Structure 1
Amino acid sequence: MPAICRDCDAQVGTGSQCPRCGSVRILRHKELFEHTIGHVDCDAFFATVEKRDRPELRDVPLIVGGGVRGVVSTCCYIARLSGVRSAMPMFKARQLCPNAAVLKPDIAKYVTVSRQVRAILETLTPLVQMQSIDEAVLDLSGTEALHGAPPAVVLNRFARQVEKELGITVSIGLAPNRLLAKLAVERGKPRGFFVFGSEAASLLAPEPVGILPGVGPVQVKRLAAMGITRVGQLAALDARRAAELGEDGPSLVARAQGLDNRPVRTERESKSISAETTFTTDLRELAALEDALWPLCEKLGRRLRREDQAAAGIVLKLKTAGFALRTRSQRLPNPTQLPETLFEAALPLLKREADGTKFRLIGIGASPLADAALADKGDLADTLTPRRLARQSAIDALRAKFGDDAVRRGRGLRKS
């Protein structure tokens, strides 16, 4: 069975130790040199970058997150031993791991490291698709002659290069398709390398259906009501029973069978863009909630313009003091990138929810997205939108030259 050393790439026989360097980190799989789709995931990314820059935190549980009322952005593996998880409320994380060091996220720094990782990936193949700031999928088909090595060895070298040059670690999944590569990388963390091949279906069969991408808590409950709790049960459904799951039924069954024909695309297709904030103290008054909503609309508009996208609909997000989540959506008559239009569409939704309930968080998102070329055109009956667009373009130019605070709208000066 093909095997390589994780520490020096030497091919290994049947032994459990590398004959060249003595390492016991051996990667062995019968199809090791056949598969070409890799999934790369930076281990506990934010926390790992911070530990790299602050050696004194190396052996300390570390949580990266916002304030007492915020949530955990990520945490190191030491903190995870205490039960801390991403997206957990900070107060709960502090209760579980009271001796943890806590740092606020430094997004600019993480973006810089993410770009460095991507730059290395793009030396391996032009087919690199970023999934998030710390994840990417890549297709190494046809690159063996270029690198003088099969994809498994190329990815192994990449992991060591990132560790040496950037001071962070990555985990890798290798498989015949994107779905299995994603599931493989989850099995090897941290600093791991896992391969899924023809045995994937049998290995996944006893796993809970929730491990499949796109199968959230609601879908898990729905499947459980049908007596389906394991991937193997879902994979065995015939066409009639698959149809009972709705339009996504056949696709869901195919995923459970480990099938996936999605190509690796060089650009990530965003499904939504959003902005949100957690309040220092709970808010219940409509005026205060409006004041919090406006800067988020400005932020969302900037992100849409930066990513060359437009909002064809908006989603208002509110989280109560008791952590109950409310989401309300509204399709727009025409796509937009303008903060005023986003605010005007969200305001009626907000007014209906401002019923005296205390809220700890508010957010606004653009979903579905549309091409920026379709945004804010106006017509004979709408002469206001072109004027708003011209005004926003002037504001953007001034802010680009003199900073974000160079121009502020009156609504943004109001105090909550």
Structure 2
Amino acid sequence: MAFSAPVQSQPSADRPAGRPPAICRDCDEQEVPAATCPRCGSRRILRHAELFDLSIAHVDCDAFYASVEKRDRPELAARPVIIGGGRRGVVSTACYIARTRGVHSAMPMFKALALCPDAVVIKPDMAKYVHEGRRIREMMQALTPLVQAQSIDEAVMDLSGTAALHRAPPAVVLARLARQVEREVGVTISIGLAPNRLLAKIAVDRDKPRGFAVIGAAEAAGLLAPEPVTLLPGVGPAMAKRLSSAGFTRLGQLAALDARDAARRFGEEGPGLAARARGEDSRPVRPERDTKSVSTETTFERDIRGLEELETILWNLTEKLCRRLAGKELAAGGVVLKLKTASFALRTRNVRLPHPSLVPEPIFEAARALLAREVDGTAYRLIGIGAQPLADARDADALDLADPDAPRQAKRWQAMEKLREKFGAGAVVKGRSLK
């Protein structure tokens, strides 16, 4: 089962039976009979029937890069801020003021500036953002060892069994964390609390910025039923179109399918899709997923300038990278290309993948596009490829239906790897490996 029935919280002496538990997010008061906290006067009251029974949280910093810059430049507090490059670049992050104008991540800068011409544009300072992200991560790890990073500014926490240690249920501990981050780091976070990772992710996206949303086990299926299928992570435009053509536009329609019918309609990924539509998710929170990247590289015996020769080496490195990812039960959420020139100058380029993958073809194609832009007559002595950010292997390829060929590519790669394990590394090779 993805989650069991919650253990019902016992009403305190001050809370009548039938009234759901509540906390004040600003002072931890747990008996709040009205919309205003009787202790501190705050109206940020969190109330839910399962509030004290849930322990899986998704924590996401609000417009993190832009928030850090506004913290350091208070005069920008009321200004729209965009983090990104020149007019030919793309938006990395936009503050919420800019988002109200239609600006969003990955939008071309020229479009963003057309929508928000008065925006203050700031080039990313990744070293600063990584430093602040680590500070927040350390605060999370002080509360539980079960913290799984999703990116610089996002993580999942499992606070099961920590109530005795902290002398408070997870909901109260998380409210304290939010205040600590604001006080010590100067940015805000949003929190989703639920019985599992999927629902926690959905919850955090329902209340941003500076939000705290709860989805309980008892309400999950009913709450999800009227939502569009695109609410589920991994269901992009192509998959949504496929589902719509089969008559499925709402999660409740998918949730009604049993495993056999779901497999008949949508293949081997169908049962998992239907289960997620019901809010089911058995993935544990694994702290070892805090690995920042997985990579491989090689230094040449002689400097290389030609694209075709570099591509052949890049392909072999990509296969090696995918084996390392599989060994760690990880997938690539993005690709990093590393090049070192004959004069030892380092070039790194990166791109996000549309969907996580651990098979060579989509990773190689993304890296090859980066490489083609760097082959300009420069002589290179080293090439490397890495996966960053990382994702769970179970979220890769088989569930990525935006590319109809992705499941077939995954099966081909798995079959080739099995043959290599049995007959040796040279038993099966791709043609491009022999160039």
Superposition deviation, residue 205 in structure 1: 1.2
Pair 1:160-2:201 in alignment: no
Aligned position for 1:397: none
Superposition deviation, residue 241 in structure 1: 3.0
Deviations for 1:204-258, whole angstroms, at most 9, x for unmatched residues? 1111111111212221111111111111111112334311211111111110000
| CA shift in 2, pair 1:300/1:191, >3 Å | farther
CA distance in 1, matches of 2:80, 2:310: 33
Question: Which of 116, 123, 132 does residue 135 from structure 2 map onto?
Answer: 116
Aligned position for 1:209: 229
1:133-172 equivalences in 2 (<5 Å): 133-172=152-191
Deviations for 1:339-397, whole angstroms, at most 9, x for unmatched residues? xxx89x9779989xx9xxxxxxxx97669999xxxxxxxxxx99xxxxxxxxxxxxxxx
Pair 1:219-2:219 in alignment: no
Aligned position for 2:268: 247
Counterpart of 2:34, as a letter, is G
Aligned position for 1:237: 257
| CA shift in 2, pair 1:346/1:168, >3 Å | closer
1:9-408 equivalences in 2 (<5 Å): 9-197=28-216, 198-243=218-263, 244-268=265-289, 331=360
Aligned position for 1:386: none
Deviations for 1:4-43, whole angstroms, at most 9, x for unmatched residues? 1011010133300000000111000000000010110000
Secondary structure class of the residue paired with 2:192:
strand
Q: Is the 8 A contact 1:316 1:350 kept in 2?
A: no
CA distance in 2, matches of 1:348, 1:168: 36
Query: Identical aligned pairs, as a percentage?
Result: 63
| CA shift in 2, pair 1:348/1:172, >3 Å | closer
| CA shift in 2, pair 1:3/1:316, >3 Å | closer
**Unpaired stretches in structure 1, ≥5 consecutive residues:** 276-286, 318-324, 333-341, 355-362, 371-380, 383-416
Counterpart of 2:73, as a letter, is R
Q: Is the 8 A contact 1:64 1:103 kept in 2?
A: yes
| CA shift in 2, pair 1:29/1:137, >3 Å | same
CA distance in 2, matches of 1:227, 1:272: 40
Secondary structure class of the residue paired with 1:267:
helix
| CA shift in 2, pair 1:69/1:214, >3 Å | same
TM-score, structure 1 as length reference: 0.69
Superposition deviation, residue 291 in structure 1: 12
**Unpaired stretches in structure 2, ≥5 consecutive residues:** 1-19, 297-304, 337-353, 376-383, 397-412, 414-424, 427-435
Secondary structure class of the residue paired with 1:245:
helix
Secondary structure class of the residue paired with 1:154:
helix
Q: Is the 8 A contact 2:84 2:90 kept in 1?
A: yes
Counterpart of 2:205, as a letter, is E
Deviations for 1:146-195, whole angstroms, at most 9, x for unmatched residues? 10100000000000000000000000010111111111000111000000
| CA shift in 2, pair 1:228/1:70, >3 Å | same
Q: Is the 8 A contact 1:316 1:349 kept in 2?
A: no
| CA shift in 2, pair 1:83/1:157, >3 Å | same
CA distance in 1, matches of 2:183, 2:21: 26
CA distance in 2, matches of 1:241, 1:70: 45
Secondary structure class of the residue paired with 1:248:
helix
Aligned position for 1:389: none
Counterpart of 1:24, as a letter, is R
Counterpart of 1:31, as a letter, is E
Aligned position for 1:402: none
Q: How many aligned positions are there?
A: 329
Q: Is the 8 A contact 1:9 1:153 kept in 2?
A: yes
Secondary structure class of the residue paired with 2:180:
helix
| CA shift in 2, pair 1:108/1:316, >3 Å | closer
